[in-house]
Amino acid sequence: MQILSKYHPVCEATASSVEIGVNLEFEAASDACALETLLWLFLPYNAAEREQYEQLLQTLAEVLKQRLRAELAGYRIVDGELELYFYAPSAKTFEPVVAAFMSEYSGYDMGSCKDAKQKFYFDALYPDARQLLQIQNTQTIAQLQEAEDQCEQEREVEHYLLFPTRGNAVRALQKASALEFTCKHEYTDDTGELRHIIVITKSHDVSDAVIHEITEDLFVIAMEEHGRYEGWSTTLVLKK
C-alpha cells in the first residue's frame, strides 16, 4: 500500500510472511486529537488486485477521516487477509459508514474497542529498530531509482554509527574493518548520549539484497557496542 511505510516481519506463530504498512506520522496526529478507539476492518486479499486494494484503503481513510475524524494507523496482510486499522475519538457511526462504503463487497468483518493509549499501534504495527531500518533502506533505494540511479553499479557508500563511548566506537571500527570498511571520519557530539560518531565507507552497489546484507551486519555491530546504526548515503550514479 503506497501511502504507508511497509516492512515484512515473520509471524512466529505460523512462520508465514507478513506485510505490515504503518503510518509513521500517526503518533503526531493522535497527539492533536483524542483518538481513544481502535477500529478495524478485515477482508479477503488477492495480491493480483493490489492496486484496487490500495485505492480502497486510500478512499476509505478519507471517508473515515471526514465522517469520524479517524486516522489511519496501518494495515497487515497475512494468510490471504487484509487487516485495516484506524483510530477515532469514538466508534459511533463506524459500522453504518463502513457498511455503506463496502456495499459491493462481501466476506468482510469489522469491529472496535477502546485503546486510549494506542497500545495496538505500538505493539502490533510500529516497527522495531531493525524493521525501521528496513523501511529506511527501501525508501532510500526508491529515491535513488526515481532519480534514475544505476543501483547495481558499485560506488563509495558512507555509513553512520553512533556510540556512547570512544571504546565502543574503536571496537566497532575493528569489527567493521574485518568486513573491509574504512574509517572516513570520527568525531564527538556533546549534545546526546551517543556522543562518539564514526563514518565508515565501503565500495558496493546499492541493490536491495546488498544493502540489506551490509546494513544488517552494521546494525548488529552497533548493537553489540551499545550504539546505533544511523543509516547510509551515497552519490548518484547515472547512466552514461
DSSP 124: I
137-145 contacts: CB < 8 A, separation 24 or more? 137/208, 137/211, 137/212, 137/215, 138/6, 138/7, 138/208, 139/5, 140/231, 140/232, 140/233, 141/206, 141/207, 141/208, 141/211, 144/206, 144/234, 144/236
> Mean pLDDT across the stretch 23-47?
88
Phi, psi of 42 (to 5 degrees): -110, 135
Give the per-residue pLDDT at 186. 96
CATH topology of domain 5-125: Alpha-Beta Plaits (3.30.70)
Question: Percentage of the chain surpassing pLDDT 70?
Answer: 95
> Mean pLDDT across the stretch 56-61?
96
Q: Report the predicted TM-score, pTM, of the whole model to 2 decimal places.
A: 0.83
Asked whether residue 13 carries a pLDDT value surpassing 60, the answer given is: no
Asked whether residue 1 carries a pLDDT value surpassing 80, the answer given is: no
Q: Please give the mean pLDDT across all residues of the chain.
A: 93
Q: Cite the residue boundaries of each domain of the chain with CATH code 3.30.70.970.
A: 140-234
Q: Which are the contacts of 164, defined by CB distance < 8 A and separation ≥ 6? A: 193, 194, 195, 196, 226, 227
In CATH, the number for domain 140-234 is 3.30.70.970
Residue 15 confidence class, pLDDT cut points 50, 70, 90: low
Q: Cite the residue boundaries of each domain of the chain with CATH code 3.30.70.240.
A: 5-125
Contact 228, 191 (CB under 8 A): no
Residue 196 confidence class, pLDDT cut points 50, 70, 90: very high
Question: Percentage of the chain surpassing pLDDT 90?
Answer: 84
